[in-house]
Amino acid sequence: MNWKKLTEASQLEEIKELSKTKPVLIFKHSTRCSISSMSLDRLLRNWKTEDGEKVVPYFLDLIAYRKLSDQVEEEFGVPHESPQVLIIRDSKAVYDNSHYGISYPEIMAQV
């Protein structure tokens, strides 16, 4: 999976612009949470190379960039969870899920 790392608030504008032409996935991951690790592993095991043509994946490390996660919540109006997946389309969050609800087939159905 060819992640773009989400590390700066300025990237939120980039994501909104990009989402006007292709859906953007944001995966919010906690390195201290076993559920987060399991959800990430399930996503990675199912991800196909060609999925990168359908959606642009961003990875947000919640431990290193907690304030940025708060900005994602504020920008897209989706309460913080961990782990969490958001799909951004046309500058808006059109889908979100967290914990055991994170599902590759469901994510791909949204893009």
Q: Dump pLDDT digits (tens) for 33-79.
A: 999 999 999 999 999 999 999 999 999 999 999 999 999 999 999 99
Q: What is the pLDDT of residue 85?
A: 98
The CATH number given to whatever domain includes residue 71 is 3.40.30.10
- Token look-up 């909104």 returns 16
Backbone angles phi, psi at 2, to 5 degrees: -95, 80
Crossing angle, helix 11-18 and helix 66-76, to 10 degrees?
40
First and final C-alpha spacing in the chain:
16
* pLDDT over threshold 90, residue 1: no
Q: What is the pLDDT of residue 71?
A: 96
Instruction: Tokens for 104, please give them.
Output: 């590759």
Give the model confidence (pLDDT) of 81-104 as tens digits.
999 999 999 999 999 999 999 999
Q: Cis omega before residue 105 (within 30°)?
A: no
- Separation between Cα atoms, residue 52 and residue 73, nearest integer Å: 24
Q: How many domains, in total, are found in the chain?
A: 1
* pLDDT over threshold 90, residue 17: yes
Q: Which residues contact 66 (CB under 8 A, 6 or more apart)?
A: none
As a whole number, mean pLDDT of residues 2-8 equals 96
- The pTM is what? 0.94
Give the C-alpha distances (Å, rounded to integers) separating 47 from 26, 56, 63, 110: 14, 12, 24, 14
